[in-house]
Amino acid sequence: MFDVIIAGCGPTGAMLAAELRLHDVSVLVLEKETEPVSFVRIVGLHIRTNELMAMRGLLDRILQHARKRPAGAYFAAIDKPAPEGLDSAYAYLLGIPQPVIVRLLEEHAIASGTQVRRGCAVAAVEQDDEGVTVELAGGERLRSRYLVGCDGARSTVRKLLGVGFPGEPARRDTLMGELELGVPPQEVAAKVAEVGATHHPFWIRPFGDRVYSVVVPAAGVSDRAEPPTLDDFRQQLRTIAGTDFGVHSPRWLSRFGDATRLADRYRVGRVLLAGDAAHIHPPIGGQGLNLGVQDAFNLGWKLAAQIRGWAPETLLDTYESERRPVAAAVLDNTRAQAELLSPEPGPQAVRRLLTELMDFDDVNRHLLEKITAIGIRYDVGDGPDLLGRRLPDVELKQGHLYGLLHRGRGLLLDRTERLTVGGWSDRVDYVGDPTAALDVPGVLVRPDGHVAWIGADQQDLEEHLARWFG
């Protein structure tokens, strides 16, 4: 019997498995596909995901395979630079091929002791007071204490649970791909500036040597069920821009809609949902993979605490109460961005107005923090603004904070050097450092990097240690 079975070995499932293994939880990941994804689509890791990877010691390895890009021009592709002084040491976008990040996270999970079985599709799920029985398509039955569906937008686990997935079906389709162009860069830039002023979504951006990222409306092209072709891109580019730019040699081609849905519940008894199984939205702003990985970081330590037997009674329920509102906010900001990409006069008037407003630093900063998830504040109680937010990678005598979070434990950072974690030392580390770059006396940091308590009173600290760490 496993502690946890995870359906789906994408970024969310692999990251969740590795987080659970930090706490010696036995994990089996079931992946219905026999081979890893092969098409080379570039995905972006935003600031908060970069921070999380640094917390687990993964970022340096990812950087070997990724391209750094400035943090900016995320919201509805409005071309504004990132505001100055972002409170992060990782304030950049990482472009990385999807198969590479999937492989790196799966290798990380396996190295931590996760078992991965490919070609295994979930067919039925039953649960009782002791655990979950998972039946595979071939009839094999497996047993675990918990099951997590990380099996994507068409999640079998979600459907078997009978969890509703309300929202809006796709209204608009868009073509996206990476291709080489047959005209000079100056000609491309001039035409994109001319056409992009009135047609959205439409852009052609350089992405490496001779390769461009191309986004163009898909209206009237082929059937949604069929993969797009190079001729589809040529046709739409000629329709929108009057030229196909001599596109050739595609790296990958895809088609996406603007369907937007959010699961009614993230948990039914011993079965939970994460990633695209719980929420889908248009890829505008590149938030999807990041949102799923961040689900995994929030859920992993809480589910491990439940299995290890020290979780406070309501800890596991905070996964849904914290992450579902975050997903709802992402759905709303992608809805808003989708409207701003409409060629209709009304949305274009709003787009022009927002473009002006984004010249104000506070507006630009708010939208960037929303897209990159560094503005999230969980409701952990009343207190200073830092409470419930993620703690930046502050400098310490021992190095940097994130280097002390590799084991996925809680951490008390004490500038007074008078506090103690006492009987929680088996799950919470202590660092006394009066030189720490903080303007508060002490902080209790959760394993996902969010601040659970601020203060200097030992009794108050112990109440919060009990609340979060049993």
Which pLDDT does position 394 carry in this prediction?
A: 95
Q: What is the pLDDT of residue 226?
A: 76
Cα–Cα nearest to 156, from 137, 133, 130:
137
In DSSP terms, 238 is beta-bridged to: none
- Cβ–Cβ < 8 Å for 132, 5: yes
Q: Could you give the dihedral angle defined by the CA atoms of residues 243, 245, 249 and 250, in that order, rounded to the nearest 10 degrees?
A: -70
Q: What is the largest CA-CA distance in the chain?
A: 71
Cβ contact 423:406 at 8 Å: no
What contacts 193, CB < 8 A, 6 or more positions away? none
Task: Examine residue 36 and say whether the peptide bond preceding it is cis (omega within 30 degrees of 0).
Answer: no
User: What's the confidence (pLDDT) of residue 222?
Assistant: 62
End-to-end CA distance of the chain: 25
pLDDT of residue 38: 64
Q: What is the pLDDT of residue 224?
A: 66
Q: How far is CA 362 from the centre of its chain?
A: 24
Place of tokens 């472009």: 95
- Do 173-257 and 395-469 fold alike per CATH? no
C-alpha span between 23 and 170 (Å, rounded):
40
Q: Residue 207's pLDDT is what?
A: 72
- What CATH class is the domain 2-167+261-372? alpha beta
CATH class of the domain whose range is 173-257: alpha beta
Task: Return the CATH fold of 395-469.
Answer: Glutaredoxin (3.40.30)
Task: Tell me the backbone φ, ψ of residue 415, rounded to 5 degrees.
Answer: -80, -20
pLDDT means over runs of 10, the chain (470 residues): 97 98 98 80 90 98 94 84 91 92 97 97 97 97 98 97 94 86 89 76 78 84 76 92 92 84 98 98 90 98 98 96 98 92 88 95 95 96 96 94 97 98 97 94 98 98 97
What residue segments make up the domains of the chain, in order of their start? 2-167+261-372, 173-257, 395-469
